[in-house]
Structures are given as structure tokens and as C-alpha cells.
Amino acid sequence: MTGESIGIDLGIKNLAVVSTGKVYKNINKTKKVKQLEKRLKREKRKVSRKLEGNIEKRDSSHRPIWKRPLRECKNIERQNQKIRSIYKKLTDIRNNYLHQITREIVKTKPSRIVMENLNVSGVMKNRHLSKAIAEQKFYEFKRQIKYKCEMYDINFVEVGRFYASSKICSQCGHKKADLKLSDRIYRCCECGLVIDRDLNAAINLANYKI
């Protein structure tokens, strides 16, 4: 595929779908990350139990008055260290994954990489997904792609709101007005194309004409 223009569609179900058909999964759905998230929750619960147990009473504005000053509570400090180390592990896993993917994509030496402006993509408008988005670090992904494009002399193009990459048929160009966010498969009523929604969007981005 060297020399081609490629499009990358970012999403929740999969982190990235490339117009070449390559799919990069959402790492937050892997067993390893899920286990760490679970452990994190457990350790956080433990620390809040320890804090509760150390409350003597509360003052008039409901602030706790401690039995022992917190800085003397070695067990709480140890617990917080445990939590910090799990956070660090998660951050490292996510960052390494992003570096691995973005490196792999630019190493295919496309002539151009096209992505959608994140502020206007459908997923960013959905507030329920905001946690997943923060975890997936869409912005970090784009930042890495951008500077790696510079390193490898690849043209980076960002596409704005006016380009409906998910609504256009990547085969015939027909624009579908009634595509819902929940429609995972794109079906074209004009030419009959049936294609994964994200792949369709990625191909449209790849074919984007400035």
C-alpha cells in the first residue's frame, strides 16, 4: 500500500479502523486492562474504608475530623501507593499501545493520512462515551500520528464537519440522510453496498479531495 492515501476512523468499539481494512481493537476491552481496572476499584474501596474508619466525627460543614492525622496513617499511605502504581500500569499499557499502532500505520509509508476533526465526530457528542474516549486518548492518538507523519514526510490532513464521512457511500457517493449512530452496518440504497460503518468512513476519508 506504499504511496497510497489512507483514512483512519476512530471509534469506541474499535479504537481505529484503517481504510486498508486493518482494525485496531479498543485496548480497554482486553482481559489485562479489565483485570487492572477491577483491582483498581477494589483498592480504592479499601482506602475509602480505611478513611471511614479513621473518622472521629464531622464538623459543622461535614468535614471529617480524624482520629489520627492522615500523615501518620502508614497503612493509608501504602494503600494510596498501590493505587498510584495501578494507575501507572494502566497509563503505560495505553500509551504503549498507541505508540505501537501509530508506528505501525506510518511504517506502511502512505503518501497521505486523513482523519476527522475530533470535535465534530459523532462519538464526541455523546456524553455517555466521554469516559471511554478519555481512556482511549483520541487526542493522543492524533498527536502521535501527526508528529510521526512529519518524521516520515507523510501529508497529514484533518477533515472538518462539512465532510460527512460516515454518511457517504464509499462506492457510489450517495449520501444517506438517515444514518443513526447505532447503525453499525452501512447499507447503500443506491448501489447496494453493504459494509462495516467504520470501514466505510475510513475509505471516504482516504478518498477525501481537498
Residue from 172, 175, 183, 184 binding Zn ion (CB under 5 A): 172
Residue from 171, 187, 196, 207 binding Zn ion (CB under 5 A): 171
Which is nearest to 122 in space by CA: 168, 165, 83? 165
Question: How far is it, in rounded angstroms, from Cα 23 to Cα 66?
Answer: 52
- Least distance between Zn ion and beta carbon 171 (Å): 5
* CB 109 within 8 Å of CB 164: no
- Least distance between Zn ion and beta carbon 172 (Å): 3
Which is nearest to 14 in space by CA: 206, 202, 208? 202
Q: In the chain, where does DSSP find H-type helix? A: 31-53, 74-107, 122-125, 130-136, 138-151, 197-206
Q: Is 191 in the site for Zn ion (CB under 5 A)?
A: yes
Cβ proximity to Zn ion, 7 vs 110, nearer residue: 7
Cβ proximity to Zn ion, 132 vs 195, nearer residue: 195
- Least distance between Zn ion and beta carbon 16 (Å): 24
Cβ proximity to Zn ion, 46 vs 187, nearer residue: 187
- Least distance between Zn ion and beta carbon 18 (Å): 21
Question: How far is it, in rounded angstroms, from Cα 76 to Cα 72?
Answer: 9
User: What is the total count of residues that contact Zn ion (CB under 5 A)?
Assistant: 8
**What cell numbers appear for 22 in the block?**
486493518
Judged by CB under 5 A, the chain residues 105 through 144 that form the site for Zn ion are none
Cβ proximity to Zn ion, 65 vs 191, nearer residue: 191
**Contacts within 8 Å (CB) and 24+ apart, 167-170:** 168/200, 168/204, 169/193, 169/200, 170/195, 170/200, 170/203, 170/204, 170/207
Q: Is 199 in the site for Zn ion (CB under 5 A)?
A: no
Cβ proximity to Zn ion, 145 vs 169, nearer residue: 169
Q: Is 175 in the site for Zn ion (CB under 5 A)?
A: no
Residues that bind Zn ion (CB under 5 A): 169, 171-172, 174, 188, 190-191, 193
